[in-house]
Structure 1
Amino acid sequence: MEIQPSSILQSLLLVPLTLLPIMNPLGTAPIVLDAARGKDHVLKRLSRQVAINCWFLIVGSMLIGTYVLDLFGISLPIVRVGGGLLVASSAWRLLQGHDSDEVTDAVAEASSPDLSETEIARRSFFPLTFPLTTGPGSIAAAIALGAQLPRTPLLYVTGAGIAALGAALTAAVVYLVYRNGGRLMMRLGEVGTLVMMRMMAFVLLCIGIQIMWTGWAELNHLNP
């Protein structure tokens, strides 16, 4: 069966267009900047490592996520409901202006001046990659994307390769946003940054509710 270039492009863009609004790297950029303590070379290393970690998490979720769910007997609609609930609750905390929780405390600890830059880079997975950048909501969405891959061997390999390229494109956007986030925050100023984060939190809340609604509709369809 011949694969059309338009369908390849559509599949390639589907991954970043689906995941980036949920991952919301623009809203997380100030936290990454704070973890780097304002040092440009540390920010560059952190941005690169977080992007690499995100690629592995996204690809792993797409390729093996559905098999893990089958192993534990968890349906994809349940994952959507749970992931959407977590995304919505995180967005609600951001809207309420809670400046201190377990994640931000972990960032503060990782960015302590007593820690070396090597130690800061080593801690880039938690919490900067998970759960701040690639959290439960984006993982659930990645699993849903992986469930749409064709099951015939040749088409599966092709689809998996395209999905991996889409994940690489997503990780590249994350890197660029985090790497240049400091400049953007300085241009926006403190008030502009606060307004932007509240707006992104509201968008994230809507995305979380949409994910939950999709999962709930699928559950009702399966159990009329």
Structure 2
Amino acid sequence: MLNLFAPEVALQSFVLAFSSLFSIVNPVGSSLIFAQVAAAHSHGERLELAKRIGLYAALIMLAALWAGAPILNFFGVSLSALRIAGGLVVAASAWTLLTAPEAREARKQAEATRDPAGNTAGNLAEIAFFPLTLPFTTGPGTIAVAIALGSSRPAPGPERIGFYVGMSLAALAIAVLVRFTYGSADRVVTWIGPVGARVLGRLFAFLLLCVGTQITVNGVTDVLGPLLAQVGR
């Protein structure tokens, strides 16, 4: 069994993906906005909406992790280029989260309170996927992070299996957190407050910046490594 599965790789991948996805999704901070959006609805309606958003978020993150990099490779985007571009996008998103969280909170507030027709959200069941899942909870930034994480997959073998197991479990864990923090949004607001959510968000934003930098470094190394080896001969 251990020959088919690398548990240490799965653990490392889980920690990396969980910290990265948590910082960009920020379920605790987003739940503060969700509480405002759903304030006019009953507790039961908020729970049902939280379940749907959690399910949709899991599907989006898993699709980006598993299929994002292969799809781009199909269109001729090399793995090295994907790592460099993805790492830069992740680092840029992290920098924005780290230096200007208020601007992102205002944008997410606007996304969450607008329905597909551009009007104030009314029926929560109709907006479970758009805009409350996409782009509010798991938007382009989350998708970019997931694709960048997926692009760092190892060579085929036990390590790749462990890699995808860890990444997938991290995505599911984030979706579960979204479901429970949104479902308990009122208690989250009381317990942590806006200041606590912002401090927590900046902590994970710094970790995300480090992840984006490392992904970019890996891509640059993939490109320059063979060239430097040829020059050294």
TM, length-normalised to structure 2:
0.72
Asked if 1:139 is matched to 2:139, the reply is no
Q: Is the 8 A contact 1:47 1:178 kept in 2?
A: yes
Tell me which amino acid in the other structure corresponds to 2:197.
M
Q: How does 1:7-46 map to 2 (within 5 A)?
A: 7=8, 10=11, 13-14=14-15, 15-38=17-40, 39-46=42-49
Q: 1:123 to 1:72 in 2, by over 3 A?
A: farther
**Structure 2 CA distance for aligned equivalents of residues 173 and 20 of structure 1:** 9
Alignment check: 8 A CA contact 1:94 1:198 kept: yes
Q: Secondary structure at the match of 2:213?
A: helix
Q: Match of 2:231?
A: none
Separation in 2 of the partners of 1:127 and 1:197?
Answer: 22
Question: Residue in 1 aligned with 2:180?
Answer: 176
CA deviation profile, 1:87-128 (whole Å, cap 9, x unmatched): 4324533246x7643x42232234x88723xxx222122332
Q: How does 1:1-224 map to 2 (within 5 A)?
A: 2-3=3-4, 6-7=7-8, 10=11, 13-14=14-15, 15-38=17-40, 39-70=42-73, 71=75, 73=77, 74-95=81-102, 100-101=106-107, 103-110=108-115, 115-116=122-123, 120-147=124-151, 148=153, 150-151=155-156, 160=164, 163-188=167-192, 193-221=193-221, 222-223=223-224
Alpha-carbon RMSD across the aligned residues, in angstroms, is 3.3
Contact (CA 8 Å) 1:81, 1:211: kept in 2 or not?
Answer: no
Query: CA shift at 1:34, angstroms?
Result: 1.5
The one-letter amino acid of 1:172's match is V
Aligned-partner Cα distance in 2 for 1:60–1:121: 23
SS at match of 2:39: coil
Structure 2 portions without partners, runs of 5+: 229-233
The number of aligned residues is: 213
User: What SS class does the counterpart of residue 75 from structure 1 fall into?
Assistant: helix
| 2:5–2:159 CA contact under 8 A, matched in 1 | no
- The question of whether the paired residues in 2 share the 8 Å contact of 1:46 and 1:124 is answered with yes
Quote the offset at 1:175 in angstroms. 1.0
The code of the aligned residue for 1:10 comes to L
1:149 Cα deviation from its structure 2 partner:
5.5
Deviations 1:119-148 (A, max 9, x none): x22212233223332234432332244331
Answer yes or no: is the 8 Å Cα contact 1:50–1:128 preserved in 2.
yes
Q: Deviations over 1:30-77 (max 9, x none)?
A: 111122125312211221111111111111111111122222525222
Identity %: 17
**Structure 1 range deviating more: 200-209 or 167-176:** 200-209
